[in-house]
Amino acid sequence: MKINVLVTGAAGFIGFHLCMKLIEEGLNVIGLDNINSYYDIKIKESRLNELNKKADRKKNWIFIKGDLENNNLLCDIFQKYNPEIIVHLAAQAGVRYSIENPGAYVNSNLVGFVNILECCRKKEIKNFIFASSSSVYGGNTKVPFNENDNVNHPISLYAATKKSNELIAHAYSHLYKIPSTGLRFFTVYGPWGRPDMAPMIFANAILNNKELKIFNNGKNFRDFTYIDDVIFAISELLNKPAKPNTSFDKNNPEQASSWSPYKIYNVGSSKNISVLDFIDLIEDELGIKANKVLYPIQPGDVVETYADTSALERVINNNYKTSVKEGIKKFIQWYKSFYSH
């Protein structure tokens, strides 16, 4: 019997790649997305076209356009399609936009998150996996970031909503025994990426000879994580729901596990490089030099991200990670193909 999986944010970057993999594997996939205009909806529509083509021969894909805040719609989806596994990727993304439009983050990332969990509670689903972010590490300077580090000092509203998601998920896990796994993604990049993220901005600026703004005077470091590695991790965790930590010590509590079925994992490459070096690799792949201009650090920006992924590797037994050079090569091949149309 096929497993029914609900993927929210199905037309988004990570959601699209996950749905493609799950459709190919023969699972019944229900995709939900509101196709908002935070970035160009043409790429979202193109992703959906690819999903529809992939599913044509398998008949295991349903797409629903709607908002997380629409509780009646969510209840109808759960009632009609009986999803057993939820991968909740939908959210209002972007650190800098959260400074301009905080309300969008409250509605999607908090109200929408609780709505999804309420549906999970009523249907007693088998596994709830949700997107957190490396942004929760905020002003922390000790690297690599470990899931058991204190993350009580977010420096953007976006990061605060993601930390809130982790706390809310734990409460539901405790009260209703919902197996909940939060994934802290570290700067995911690759084909079909978000136009508002650095790799897409860099490629666009270099190819079109635009000024390439580099913030913090080029002194930022990022743990760039290739999309295929992220999708591998999520797909491996589908059948590994969080379990209670039987040795949990309430007198000396861990941050990333619980007496409840709850777990937090970093999903990164477990190495980082400077943004300037990342740009150099894009320049090499394109054979074009960037018109770089250095700017001061922006509000809400984290200086360095670097993931300790040892906890995840113990669970999914995957020590292979795509190198940045290989990842950029694949990304640029897609970028030139997609934007030459």
- Catalytic residue positions, numbered: 158
CA 20 to chain centre: 16
Strands 221-222, 273-274: pairing is antiparallel
- Cβ-proximal residues to 122 (8 Å cutoff; 6+ apart), any chain: 75, 78
How many residues belong to the chain? 341
3-state secondary structure of 307: strand
CA gap 299, 106 in Å, rounded: 19
Residue found by looking up tokens 């969008």 in the block = 104
DSSP characters for 26-79? T-EEEEEE---SSS-HHHHHHHHHHHHHHHHTT--EEEEE--TT-HHHHHHHHH
CA gap 85, 106 in Å, rounded: 25
